[in-house]
Chains A and B, each alone.
Chain A
Amino acid sequence: MFEGLDAVVLARAQFAFTMSFHIVFPAFSIGLASYLAVLEALWLATGREVFINLFNYWLKIFAIAFGMGVVSGIVMSYQFGTNWAAFSDKTGPVLGPLMAYEVLTAFFLEAGFLGVMLFGLERVGHKLHFLATLMVAIGTLISAFWILSANSWMQTPAGYAVNGEGQFVAVDWFALIFNPSFPYRLLHMVLAAYLTTALVVGAVGAFHLLRDSHRPGPRVMFSMAMWMATLVAPIQIFAGDQHGLNTLEYQPAKVMAMEGHYQSHPDGAPLILFGLPDQDAASVRYALQIPKLSSLILKHSLDAPLAGLDSIARQDWPPVPITFWSFRVMVGIGFLMLGLGLFSLWSRFRGTLFRSRPLHLFALMMGPAGFIAVLAGWITTETGRQPFTVFGLLRTVESASPLAAPAVASSLIAFVIVYFAVFTAGVVYILRLMAQPPHHGEQGPRGDTPSRTAGITPAPAAIASRRFG
């Protein structure tokens, strides 16, 4: 199965695999934690039961998703050392502190308050419980701050020097943390997390509205989710565009790969909509293109010259086909999100938000779209950084651990088997929870422990929630 592959390729496959699995969970829990904080705030402010029902409904789902995020995240924090030891030695002095701050300011905050958020409502009272929910939500955002700073530094390194041992060392921590691509990437990723969650919430709402359009819970969550899509999708497209311009300035090779520009265009570059990039022939086959549009988008002028990969040494080229296609997948889904937002806005003004079957079917179909867009976006930016780990400074082949290929192959197989077994089960459990509509007297994550609920809810609800558990 792995014959002829070297340890570096296997290590890359392993990182890509474990990272792709991991990123899905934080992308969901960043958005969901904020949504839970909003739901609890609305409940505390209005006292309306529908909000606490929705809160408990999504809290159960959050608990599972968060657990999977934690365990797949621990893997990431050790994988730098196991598979990328040379990278760790060289970048440890600059990236290590950012990750240590992530642990200290974010992971502990989330983990410390998670128990109270999940199980503590009756023990600490409303205000302290809301504080716990808020801390978890803030923790997820702080975590995004540090890890995206670290990732952005690998893309657009700044504020560093290189010492005698070949290690990167910090010269200016502020410049290092707030490196040129960081603000764009942070905004783009947090918005992506919010959109991803909104699409999931919207799809669950739509699923239950399709069966019965009168339930209060699905109505509220669907309406909230569609507002999110309507307002945030356009902002995200704008933020993505700005991020792209920043990439053009600091990592032009990545943009060339995204655009499929093997050749330079001295008088206006075409926008290649679709085509089959051929890395060996250095050309895009069957290209369907619009003349000069790429120059217009990237340089705001039809005739602006745009350099292609032919201006860069061949050994520094990123793999174009992957970057080119993953970028198109992401952008395509982004515009579908915009379409969903506009459709829902139109339905809202016509008063058919809760009745329009086409809208609900569209929203249902878009449920997993956020995850696909997030993965496609990450594949674009990480593949576009190749063949470097630290862009322009440290090559991927020089970053790996001195490991034998069989060692990496065995661990890769183990990760694939375990992740599919474990996370498939988790997703099934989440889908099972989603298949039930939120109902009167909805219970939190331990709702099936009879005693916990006995004092505060009517017995039928407790029995019902046990059945659903």
Chain B
Amino acid sequence: MSAALDIPTLWAFIIAFAVFVYVVMDGFDLGLGMLFPLFPNKADRDVIMNSVAPVWDGNETWLVLGGGGLMAAFPLAYAVLMPALYTPMIAMLLGLVFRGVAFEFRWRTQRERNRWDVAFAGGSLLATLAQGVALGAILQGVHVEGRHYAGGWWDWLTPFSILTGLALVTGYCLLGATWLVMKTTGSLREAAYRQSWWLVIAMLIALGAVSVATPLLDIEYANRWFAWPNILATAPVPVAVAGVTFLLLRSLARRQDYRPFFLSLALFALAYAGLGISMWPYIVPRSITIWQAAAPANSQAFMLVGVAVLVPIILAYTAWAYWVFRGKVDAESGYH
């Protein structure tokens, strides 16, 4: 388990960063879609849509960076994982098609608006489930021979991958609900507060279930977490989860509109760190390490220059776009 900071290691962190930014940004976005059926009122739905319409496209761009970056920096991993995750990937893409077009389509029709609302909710649910299932399928490992995926096209479907799929659904819903708490007012916010309570509890159960199930998948994972002295490094993660959960519940009780969203993101960050601890240094668990999958050094170095220069700029103008559309949204006045 080398920790020397070479270029493949840097790239593993960059891809992990891109995926995390994606989860942070599109997570609440997809969560809003899944919560849509709970808000049957058109005015509420308009507000929910408007709260994210200016930024959803940028959010999904991180997914493209995750995929494109993986192909560029770790082509072998991309070539093995994509066929292994064939069905969930296609399902995710189709889900994203439905929900993405709904942002514009539902404003262009009175008669068919309901249809695009269903597409928005259904597409969001399908994309989220598929992402969660894909995560579980990666964790449980895929069958590799030589430089190829050698399993079948249903290998990804196991109780564990369904569990991770459901866990991600609850997690994204929590992000969506706390986003609404932050961005809305009136009865919409009240409903979001109530949903947030239930979703925190659901997310804790899901997180706990995945945490129990993962070490059972493979003795490697169990050793990684529980063997001495690793436990000294891993124990802070569950402790921090407990702490953040306490703060999150307290902020919901005290009705501090802005905190629950960021504390929910902190929960995600911790879960993500836990995932990193489980996987490191494999990019395809127990088959391919980041060094085996790495593109030649000059390819990785060529892109590293671009990432170093451009990602800070991207983050700056993305932050600006969020700043432009800051504050609460309501039906009366769009943004104000």
Chain A residues at the B interface, C-beta cutoff of 8 Å: 63-64, 66-68, 70-75, 77-78, 80-82, 85-86, 88-97, 99-105, 107-116, 118-120, 123-124, 163, 165, 167, 169-170, 173, 401-404, 406-407, 411, 414-415, 418-419, 422, 425-426, 429, 432-433, 445-446, 448-449, 451-452, 469
A-B interface, 7 closest residue pairs, ranked by CB to CB distance from nearest: A92-B75, A96-B72, A81-B82, A115-B54, A89-B79, A71-B100, A111-B58
Does any Cβ of A come within 8 Å of B310's Cβ? yes
CB distance from A298 to the nearest CB of B (A): 37
- Are the CB atoms of B50 and A449 closer together than 8 Å? yes
Compute how far the CA of A85 lies from the CA of B299 in the bound complex, rounded to whole angstroms.
18
- Nearest residue in A to B14 (C-beta to C-beta)? A100
- Are the CB atoms of B303 and A97 closer together than 8 Å? yes
**Interface hit among B27-35, B62-70, B241-249, B266-274:** B62-70
Does any Cβ of A come within 8 Å of B261's Cβ? no
Q: How many residues of B sit at the interface, in one of the four size bands? A: 35 or more
Does any Cβ of A come within 8 Å of B325's Cβ? yes
CB distance from B258 to the nearest CB of A (A): 20
Compute how far the CA of A102 lies from the CA of B69 in the bound complex, rounded to whole angstroms.
11
> Mostly helix, strand, loop or mixed at chain A's interface?
helix
Compute how far the CA of A63 lies from the CA of B103 in the bound complex, rounded to whole angstroms.
10
Instruction: List residues 291-336 of chain B with CB under 8 A from any CB of chain A.
Output: 295-296, 298-299, 302-303, 306-307, 310-311, 314, 317-318, 320-321, 324-325, 331-335
- Are the CB atoms of B148 and A432 closer together than 8 Å? no
Does any Cβ of A come within 8 Å of B86's Cβ? yes
A100/B303 contact (C-beta < 8 A), A119-B325, A123-B325, A426-B101 known? yes
- Are the CB atoms of B64 and A74 closer together than 8 Å? yes
- Are the CB atoms of B98 and A422 closer together than 8 Å? yes
- Are the CB atoms of A68 and B101 closer together than 8 Å? yes
CB distance from B88 to the nearest CB of A (A): 10
- Are the CB atoms of B105 and A429 closer together than 8 Å? yes
What chain B residues lie within 8 Å of A426 (beta carbons)? 101, 104-105
- B91-106 interface code vs A (CB 8 A; 1 in, 0 out): 0011011101101110
- Are the CB atoms of B296 and A163 closer together than 8 Å? yes
- Are the CB atoms of B60 and A104 closer together than 8 Å? no
- Are the CB atoms of A97 and B72 closer together than 8 Å? yes
Compute how far the CA of A104 lies from the CA of B97 in the bound complex, rounded to whole angstroms.
22
What chain B residues lie within 8 Å of A118 (beta carbons)? 53-54
Compute how far the CA of A429 lies from the CA of B61 in the bound complex, rounded to whole angstroms.
25
- Nearest residue in A to B119 (C-beta to C-beta)? A422
Does any Cβ of A come within 8 Å of B108's Cβ? yes
What chain B residues lie within 8 Å of A67 (beta carbons)? 57, 100-101, 103-104
CB distance from A394 to the nearest CB of B (A): 13
- New contact pairs (8) apart from A119-B53, A414-B90, CB-CB < 8 Å: A67-B101, A71-B101, A88-B75, A89-B79, A116-B324, A419-B97, A429-B105, A451-B333
What chain A residues lie within 8 Å of B17 (beta carbons)? none
Does any Cβ of A come within 8 Å of B83's Cβ? yes
What chain A residues lie within 8 Å of B60 (beta carbons)? 70, 74, 111
- Are the CB atoms of B101 and A104 closer together than 8 Å? no
- Are the CB atoms of B108 and A418 closer together than 8 Å? no
A93/B296 contact (C-beta < 8 A), A64-B105, A418-B94 known? yes
CB distance from A443 to the nearest CB of B (A): 11
- Are the CB atoms of B61 and A403 closer together than 8 Å? no
What chain A residues lie within 8 Å of B108 (beta carbons)? 64, 429, 432-433, 469
20 contacts between A and B (CB under 8 A): A63-B104, A72-B97, A74-B93, A82-B90, A89-B78, A93-B295, A96-B75, A96-B299, A102-B68, A111-B60, A112-B317, A115-B57, A118-B54, A119-B54, A165-B147, A169-B299, A419-B97, A433-B108, A445-B104, A446-B107
- Are the CB atoms of A88 and B149 closer together than 8 Å? no
A422/B101 contact (C-beta < 8 A), A116-B324, A469-B107 known? yes
Does any Cβ of A come within 8 Å of B214's Cβ? no
What chain B residues lie within 8 Å of A449 (beta carbons)? 46, 50, 334
Compute how far the CA of A95 lies from the CA of B57 in the bound complex, rounded to whole angstroms.
24
Instruction: List residues 275-292 of chain B with CB under 8 A from any CB of chain A.
Output: none
What chain A residues lie within 8 Å of B65 (beta carbons)? 100, 103-104, 107-108
Does any Cβ of A come within 8 Å of B166's Cβ? no
| Interface-central residue, B87, B150, B152, B334, by most chain A CB under 10 Å | B334
What chain A residues lie within 8 Å of B303 (beta carbons)? 96-97, 100-101
What chain A residues lie within 8 Å of B125 (beta carbons)? none
What chain B residues lie within 8 Å of A105 (beta carbons)? 306, 310
Compute how far the CA of A70 lies from the CA of B54 in the bound complex, rounded to whole angstroms.
14
A103/B311 contact (C-beta < 8 A), A89-B79, A114-B57, A469-B107 known? no
- Are the CB atoms of A85 and B101 closer together than 8 Å? no
Does any Cβ of A come within 8 Å of B81's Cβ? yes
What chain B residues lie within 8 Å of A415 (beta carbons)? 90, 94
A167/B75 contact (C-beta < 8 A), A108-B58, A429-B108, A446-B50 known? yes
- Nearest residue in A to B100 (C-beta to C-beta)? A71
Does any Cβ of A come within 8 Å of B180's Cβ? no
A89/B96 contact (C-beta < 8 A), A123-B325, A163-B296 known? no
Compute how far the CA of A102 lies from the CA of B46 in the bound complex, rounded to whole angstroms.
33
A448/B107 contact (C-beta < 8 A), A82-B86, A85-B82, A163-B296 known? yes
- Are the CB atoms of A88 and B97 closer together than 8 Å? no
